Amino acid sequence: MRRYSFLLLIAGALLLCSAVVYYLHYLIFHDAHHIFIYLVGDVAFVPVEVLLVAIIIERLLSSRDTRAKLEKLNMVIGSFFSEVGTELLGRLTSAMTGRQQLREHLAIGADWTARDFERAIAFAREFPYEVDAGQLDLVALRDMLAKKRDFLLRLLENPNLLEHERFTNLLWAIFHLTEELIARDTLLDLPESDLAHLAGDIQRAHSRLAAEWVAYVQHLQSAYPFLFSLVVRTHPLQDHPSARVV
Are 95 and 236 in contact, with CB atoms under 8 Å apart?
A: no
pTM for this predicted structure: 0.72
Q: Are residues 54 and 86 in the same domain?
A: no
pLDDT of res. 2: 62
With 0-12 / 13-18 / 19 or more C-beta atoms within 10 angstroms meaning exposed / middle / buried, residue 17 is exposed
Asked whether residue 200 is domain-assigned, the answer is: yes
90 & 24 share domain: no
Residues 157/64, Cβ–Cβ less than 8 Å: no
Give Rg (Cα) of the chain: 29
> Is 122 among the domain residues?
yes
14 and 102 part of one domain = no
89 lies in the same domain as 36: no
Q: Which domain holds residue 123?
A: 73-234
Selection from 246, 236, 225, 241 nearest residue 110 by Cα = 225
Q: What is the mean pLDDT of the chain?
A: 83
Indicate if the pLDDT at residue 184 is higher than 60. Answer: yes
Question: Using 50, 70 and 90 to split pLDDT, how confident is the model at 221?
Answer: very high
Same domain, 54 and 85: no
pLDDT at 64: 62
Q: Which long-range contacts (CB under 8 A, 24 or more apart) does 19-24 make?
A: none
Residue 52, amino acid: L
pLDDT exceeds cutoff 80 at 62: no
> For a pLDDT cut of 90, what percent of the chain falls above it?
38
User: Tell me: the pLDDT tens digits for 22-54?
Assistant: 777 777 777 777 767 766 667 666 676 666 666
